[in-house]
Each structure stands twice: as structure tokens, then as C-alpha cells.
Amino acid sequence: MLDMVRKDSFRNGVHPPEHKDETSHLSIRRFPFAPVLVVPLSQHLGKPSVSIVREGQEVVRGQTIAKPDGFVSVAMHAPASGVVRRIALAPNINGDMVPSVYLQPHPASSQEVADGEPCDVETATPDEIITAIQRAGVVGLGGGAFPNQVKLKPPEGKRLDTLIINGVECEPYLTTDHRVMLEQTADIFTGIRYLLRATGASEAIIAVEANKQDAATKLQQNCPEDLPVSVRVSPVKYPQGAEKLVIKALLGREIPSGGLPADVHAICVNVATTAEIGRLLPRGRGIQERVITIGGPGVDRKGNYRIPIGTTVRFVLEETGAAKNISRVFLGGPMMGAAVSNLDIPITKGTSGITAFTTAETGEATGHQEVYPCIHCARCVESCPLFLNPSHLGLLAKNEEYEQMAEEFHLMDCFECGACSYVCPSHIPLVQYFRLAKKMVRKLSESA
């Protein structure tokens, strides 16, 4: 019963304007190579990759240019055929300088990609698949950028029964997962084969939100007979796509505070990540580009583009016709995306979107609104999907009671979805407080 929206949802949450119609009907297009591509060696959580190229070396598109350093790390691949100009520091989204490979593509660099050592889904062992995924440089493309092979290997003694393919994409403006589901349907099912085999889960569920009914229908119609896959459609609500909430909505299981999906025998993989695994592994290729939604009122040629990793935000905005009065640019969507302070930072594997706001939108955005004292209206309490008490946490943050926040009020469970700040009529920057508080708690526990 696909056309029937099931009550697969969670409590609380918010309904920000979606703005998905602006790009959801636009097919994925290729993007030109920038004059210089900057490939950071650390695009994921965990240890940075180790460069295996030297300055001046010629590389072919798809060639491995860095190898993983340990298990919690992945490989990197050349996004274009060209010359390695230098290996030096480059700015990243956090404002840090990180070691990166500067690659100058040949003027005639084609979109052809070099094949590597294939991984056959029928014969490969789970460990071989996990190694192949690491070699392909796959990280969570939903934004987490966590090395994928790590979560595929459940902790000792934990059994996985359900693989959830997360195609919820609840962030406003973003439509990459939507397009990938429509255009890479076959890759997704191939990816699911690899993932089921690697994890030992007995069934897979593809989670989609009701605003992507066409994608859900297409997936349902093209589902191979022999694959234990179902498609479930959830009502539209932010942040439905959060791992904890998808698992709660579909399986009714609650990941314990501070726990992992494996604690409830589930694993959650982003749908674009799954599609990449299905596309890359049969040919032994690695991630050298990804689909990104370029949107927001500050962009003229909005759309979904397959953009080489290492392309700078500046190049992307210039190619897509950014407005003169753009005032705020962020990677991802407006609820969780990080604001860009330097347009010369490169796109990495975890970048799902670039959204540009103009002065017209930021005039009414959070930073420009008058901040009032908390009036205990409880809207934040009613929006928090994890049932935290943002109002009280905000009060504690202001008094710098960081330890109390963590110990008594579960601060560390907050995944910064932004629902509380979004609804706050006093415009208190709650998420900002919590981010700072979490940092302070980590610092305090390190020094203790």
C-alpha cells in the first residue's frame, strides 16, 4: 500500500517551509572542472588519509591519491586527470587549515574514470566488501561523513537484523537524495545487495518522506523480486531523517541514550551512499564526485549537479550565477548547514548542498532578530524530537552550568537539529549555546 501514507513518524518536530519544488524536478547535471581542485586529506570523521602522490605527479581521474590510515579512515581518489601542483594546507568549513592535495586538471580532462579492482557481490565475503567500501573512499554522504565501513562492522556480540536505507531527506531546499532515488534506482538496489551481505541483516527498508512519492513509487516498481526490500513512506516532518528517529518511526525501537543503532539491531545508511556503493564497487572505482543541490534564493541556475570533490564553493557559485547581494552561504540546508566564512573552501564528500541566502532572507533570519528573555512558552519542549528540555538547557548554558547540562539534562544527546531555535519566539540561539556547551563538556572531561 504505497500510496497510503503510513503513520511511520516520531513525536514532536517542526514543519519549516520545504522549498524542494525549486530543484526536485531538475535532473542531475554534470559540472565543469574548476581550474584548481583542492582535495582535503581529511573529509571524514576519523584519521586523515595518507597521500600517496607527490607534487608534480600526473594523475588519472579515479586514481587513488591517498590511502586510509587505519580502520577509521578511507581512501581518496583524483577527481580529475591532471597534475598534482602541491600538497599544502587549505581552509576548511570549520576555519581550520588542513593538509590538502591541489590538483590542476588538464584542459582536456574527460569525464572518463579509470576502473580498479572490482568487488563481486555474489562471491565476496563480508570482510572483502567492507575493505572494498573503505578502498572506494565511501563515507556517509548524508552529511555525517563517517567512514562507512566502520558502522557496517557491528560491535562484538551485536547482531543486525534490519538495514534502513535513509532517503528521508528532511532538510529544506535539498533534493539530492530525491534525484538519486529517481535516477540511480538500479544502483541503489545493487548497493543494498552489498550492504545486506556485509552486515548480515535479513531485510532492508527504504525510508522516504511523503514529499517524494514519485521516488517511492519508482523504487517500489523496480524492486528486484529476490531482494528482501520494502519501501516505507513517512509523513513530512523535520527532522524525520535523523538516524534515531527513522529507526524509531519504522521499527518502533529507541536507540538508548548514548548508544548506537547496533544496540537495537539496526543499521542506517544514507540512500546516496548506498547508490554510490552500488555504482562504484562493481567496477572498483572510488568517490571522486558527488551529487549536490545548489539552491536558495541567492542562486540563479538552481539544480542538482554532480560536482567533482575539491571544487571550491566560489567556483560553484560563479558557475551557477550567484546573486550580487548574497549574504549567507551554507553547506547543506538551512536547519543544520554550517555557514561558510570563506568561499575558497572545497566541496567534500559530506557536502549535500550549497544554499545561498541574500540580504532579503537574512534580514529576517535569526541573527537579526531581537533576542528576548525566555518566556517559558514550551514551544522548544514541544518541538524537540529527543524530548530534551531546551528551555532549561538554555538557562543552564547561560549560567555556564555545563556539567549539570550533560549529567542531568542529557545535553550530549542533542544532535543540533535546530528545531528549538527555529520555533523560539524569543529568538534565543539555543543550538549555538548547546554546541558551545558540548565543546566545553568534552574539554572538561578531557582535562579531568
| Among positions 222, 372, 407, 445, the unique one binding another protein when judged by CB under 8 A | 372
156 DSSP β-pair partners:
none
Question: What string of DSSP letters covers 261-327?
Answer: GGGGTEEEEEHHHHHHHHHHGGGT----EEEEEEESTTBSS-EEEEEETT-BHHHHHHHTTB-TTEE
Residue 365 interacting with another protein (CB under 8 A): yes
Amino acid of residue 311? T
User: Interaction with another protein in 14-43: which residues (CB under 8 A)?
Assistant: 14, 16-17
| Contact residue for another protein among 5, 60, 343, 440 (CB under 8 A) | 343
User: Which residue, 41 or 317, is less far from another protein as judged by CB?
Assistant: 317
Read off the amino acid at residue 204. A
* Window 306 to 335, contacts with another protein (CB under 8 A): 314, 317-318, 322, 324-330, 334-335
Q: Give the one residue of 46, 62, 346, 385 binding another protein; rule: CB under 8 A.
A: 385
Q: Find the binder of another protein among 70, 373, 399, 447 (CB under 8 A).
A: 373
The three grid cell numbers given for residue 437, joined into one nine-digit string: 556547551
Question: Which parts of 269-298 interact with another protein (CB under 8 A)?
Answer: none
| Residue 99 in grid coordinates | 593538509
Residue carrying C-alpha cell 556485509? 198
Question: According to CB under 8 A, which one of 200, 429, 438, 441 is a site residue for another protein?
Answer: 429
Judged by beta carbon, residue 84 or residue 417, the one nearer another protein is 417
State which of positions 394-413 bind another protein (CB under 8 A).
Answer: 409-410, 413
For residues 393 and 407, give the distance between their C-alpha atoms in angstroms, rounded to a whole number: 11
Q: Is 425 in the site for another protein (CB under 8 A)?
A: yes
Interactions with another protein, residue window 157-176 (CB under 8 A): 172
- Which cell goes with 340? 561558510
352 close to 327: Cβ distance less than 8 angstroms: no
Is residue 362 a contact point for another protein (CB under 8 A)? yes
Residue 188 host element (H or E):
helix 185-199
User: At closest approach, how far in Å is the CB of 305 from another protein?
Assistant: 18
Residues 105-134 that bind another protein (CB under 8 A): none
Cis check: omega of the bond before 239, within 30 degrees of 0: yes
Check the CA dihedral 262-337-342-303 and report its sign: positive
Task: Report the DSSP beta bridge partners of residue 234.
Answer: 209
Instruction: Tell me the C-alpha distance between 357 and 14, whole Å.
Output: 21
416 touches another protein by CB under 8 A: yes
Residue 416 C-alpha cell reads as 543540533
Instruction: Compute how many residues bind another protein; rule: CB under 8 A.
Output: 77
Closest to another protein by CB, 26 vs 381, is 381
Is-contact 147 139, C-beta < 8 A?
yes
Choosing from 97, 186, 339, 444, the residue that interacts with another protein (CB under 8 A) is 339
Q: Which of 301, 376, 398, 439 binds another protein (CB under 8 A)?
A: 376
In the complex, minimum distance from the CB of residue 429 to another protein, in angstroms, rounded to a whole number? 6
Pairing of strands 162-167, 203-209: parallel
Task: State whether residue 135 is helix, strand or coil.
Answer: helix
Interaction between residue 370 and another protein (CB under 8 A) = yes
Binding mask 230-269 toward another protein (x if CB under 8 A, else -) reads: --------------x---x----xxxxxxx---xx-----
Stretch binding another protein (CB under 8 A), from 81-89, 133-141, 219-227, 339-347: 339-347
Give strand ranges (E) for 338-400: 338-339, 353-358
* 163, three cell numbers: 538495514
Based on CB atoms, which residue is closest to another protein, 55 or 408?
408
Q: Which of residues 51, 139, 421, 437 is near another protein by CB under 8 A?
A: 421
